[in-house]
């Protein structure tokens, strides 16, 4: 029919201009990539302002465009890099308070030695807290799937949220009270409320990193260290409140036990043994010591069990793909052994599995359709980006309609061939065409002579998808893989299905 004639003509033209296209790619590779993506992308790249009614004057368009740009310029997208780095800075400020306030309360020596440094640092951290309120007033949010840029809506949204109240409470100025009751840095405890911003930062890192389980373990480990730090401080404060009596608490701070370093390390040693449930410590003597020790053990069991469980998940997830690969390989070995497959053939199969694993074809990275949750449009866009270097070298793709390529790109199947494999043999029935993604192939004559070589971006076997004379198409030459080769395969049925939708 006409659609086969159209496809045959396209393939013929594509083959004719293939050599010229290769020369042009060397001269303008970057431009080709940009134009290819621009043409075949599933995303609309136009500016909404360009679609406004022609009745609106050019002056009004320019004025409104400038207003929108100015408005958007001062609104922060909650998912972009600025918010990520800002949250990192705020998280450092929160952690500063969580780590230092209790330490200065329990071990005042570290405060008195550099009092001005602590005073300035506290002021800088409080300023960051204040600036974070301003940032949240200008942080966009989603409404009907779109970022809101209206200043009044942004302010109303933030002020109506519970975070506005938490931010105000976290900045309650209790520091001047120290002029009345004396130096007690723990009076800055409202600053701890800001920890909710740290949770947001932890989530953003978790979604961005390629090692989310490792990040979770690091985060839980930090929680354990922070807990040990706090319990060490409480241990020393209880010992001090009881005048260093008994064997459970810290000894009288004299001699080697008088330095702040020894005070902290011995207290940290006690809290570490307690929170990790190792024990082997002197028993409590007073009621407060019993209560504190029991609470420490209970919290330690929970935190330590959580960390151990998370580490187990990391190991399991890390090895899951490898275990599945080994299961498949072992199955292939058993099959070949039961059927007395020659050793040379077994080694070829073994090398194929090893190469497929090294290229990520057997650990979830081989097929775009393995991303089952993504909508087809997004999978198409992702496939175009992942296979861009291959697709933009295929000349007949550059001549086809974008919708036609979108249909085909999700139908392409990836295959790996080992050195010496015959990809197709002369005379066999042709049911698919091949696109070379990586590797080197040779076209072999009947006498064994190498007629030509093909590399990434070349295609062959297109006769397999052409309906010549309504009969069965057969291969016209042998094609052999020189080394390892990765090919995309398009079946005749897939192309026919796409042609029905895009005649």
pLDDT of 4-25, one tens digit each? 555 555 555 555 545 554 455 4
**Mean pLDDT for the stretch of residues 400-427:** 81
**Mean pLDDT for the stretch of residues 198-203:** 93
Number of neighbouring beta carbons within 10 Å of residue 60: 11
The answer for residues whose C-beta is within 8 angstroms of residue 18's C-beta and 6 or more apart is 395, 458
Tokens 């392409």 sit on residue: 412
Tell me the β-bridge partners of 480: 422, 442
pLDDT at 344: 85
Strands (E), 101-175: 142-143, 146-147
Segment holding 207, helix H or strand E:
helix 195-208
d(CA 77, CA 75): 7
Assign 339 to helix, strand or coil: coil
Of 373, 491, 399, which Cα lies nearest the Cα of 11? 399
pLDDT tens for 435-452 read 888 888 999 988 888 889
Stated pTM of the model: 0.63
pLDDT at 131: 96
pLDDT tens for 322-372 read 777 888 888 888 988 898 888 888 888 888 888 887 777 654 445 555 566
d(CA 381, CA 254): 70
Check pLDDT > 80 for residue 243: yes
Distance of CA 388 to the CA centre of its chain: 21
The b-or-e profile of 265-292 (16+ CB within 10 A means b, else e) is ebbbebbbbbbeeeeeeeebeeeebeeb
Mind listing the domains of the chain with CATH numbers?
2-24+374-501 (2.60.120.10), 76-208 (no CATH), 211-341 (1.10.287.70)
Distances (CA, A) of 302 to 54, 227, 229: 66, 12, 17
Mean of per-residue pLDDT scores for the chain = 79
- Which of 58-67, 188-197, 419-428 is most confident? 188-197
Assign 193 to helix, strand or coil: helix
Assign 424 to helix, strand or coil: strand
Distance of CA 418 to the CA centre of its chain: 32
**Mean pLDDT for the stretch of residues 31-54:** 51
pLDDT at 396: 66
Select the more confidently predicted residue: 37 or 416: 416
**Mean pLDDT for the stretch of residues 66-92:** 80
Select the more confidently predicted residue: 126 or 381: 126
pLDDT tens for 136-168 read 999 988 887 778 888 899 999 999 999 999 999
Phi, then psi, of 448 in degrees rounded to 5: 90, 5
Torsion of CA 53, 59, 63, 69, to 10 degrees: 60
Compute and round to an integer the Cα radius of gyration of the chain.
34
Torsion of CA 311, 314, 316, 318, to 10 degrees: -150
Select the more confidently predicted residue: 304 or 489: 489
pLDDT at 117: 92
Cβ atoms 185, 101 nearer than 8 A = yes
């Amino acid at each position: 029919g006409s659609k086969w004639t159209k496809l045959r003509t396209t393939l013929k033209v594509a083959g004719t201009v293939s050599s010229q296209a290769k020369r042009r790619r060397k001269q303008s590779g970057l431009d080709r990539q940009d134009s290819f993506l621009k043409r075949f992308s599933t995303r609309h790249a136009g500016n909404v302002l360009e679609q406004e009614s022609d009745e609106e004057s050019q002056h009004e368009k320019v004025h409104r465009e400038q207003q929108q740009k100015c408005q958007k310029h001062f609104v922060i997208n909650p998912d972009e890099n600025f918010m990520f780095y800002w949250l990192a800075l705020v998280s450092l400020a929160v952690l500063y308070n969580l780590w230092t306030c209790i330490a200065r309360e329990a071990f005042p020596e570290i405060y008195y030695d550099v009092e001005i440094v602590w005073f300035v640092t506290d002021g800088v951290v409080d300023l960051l807290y204040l600036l974070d309120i301003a940032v949240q007033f200008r942080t966009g949010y989603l409404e009907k799937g779109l970022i809101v840029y209206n200043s009044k809506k942004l302010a109303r949204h933030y002020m109506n949220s519970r975070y506005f109240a938490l931010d105000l409470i976290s900045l309650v100025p209790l520091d001047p009270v120290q002029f009345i009751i004396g130096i007690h840095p723990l009076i800055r405890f409202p600053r701890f409320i800001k920890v909710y911003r740290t949770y947001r930062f932890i989530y953003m890192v978790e979604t961005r990193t390629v090692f989310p389980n490792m990040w979770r373990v690091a985060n839980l480990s930090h929680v354990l260290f922070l807990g040990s730090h706090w319990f060490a401080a409480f241990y020393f404060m209880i010992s001090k409140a009881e005048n260093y009596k008994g064997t459970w608490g810290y000894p009288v701070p004299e001699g080697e036990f008088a330095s702040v370093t020894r005070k902290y390390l011995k207290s940290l040693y006690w809290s570490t043994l307690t929170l990790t449930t190792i024990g082997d410590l002197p028993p409590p003597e007073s009621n407060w010591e019993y209560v504190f020790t029991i609470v420490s053990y209970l919290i330690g069991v929970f935190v330590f069990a959580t960390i151990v469980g998370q580490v187990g998940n990391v190991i399991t997830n890390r090895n899951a793909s490898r275990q599945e690969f080994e299961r498949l390989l072992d199955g292939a070995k058993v099959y070949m052994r039961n059927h007395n497959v020659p050793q040379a053939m077994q080694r070829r199969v073994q090398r194929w599995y090893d190469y497929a694993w090294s290229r990520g074809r057997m650990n979830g990275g081989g097929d775009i359709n393995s991303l089952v949750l993504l909508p087809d449009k997004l999978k198409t866009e992702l496939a175009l980006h992942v296979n861009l270097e291959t697709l933009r070298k295929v000349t007949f793709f550059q001549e086809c309609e974008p919708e036609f390529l979108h249909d085909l790109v999700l139908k392409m199947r990836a295959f790996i061939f080992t050195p010496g494999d015959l990809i197709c043999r002369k005379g066999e029935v042709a049911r698919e065409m091949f696109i070379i993604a990586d590797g080197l192939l040779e076209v072999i004559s009947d006498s064994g002579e190498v007629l030509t070589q093909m590399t990434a971006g070349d295609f062959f076997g297109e006769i397999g998808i052409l309906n010549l004379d309504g009969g069965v198409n057969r291969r016209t030459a042998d094609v052999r893989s020189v080394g390892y080769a990765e090919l995309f395969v398009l079946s005749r049925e897939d192309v026919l299905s796409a042609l029905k939708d895009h005649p």
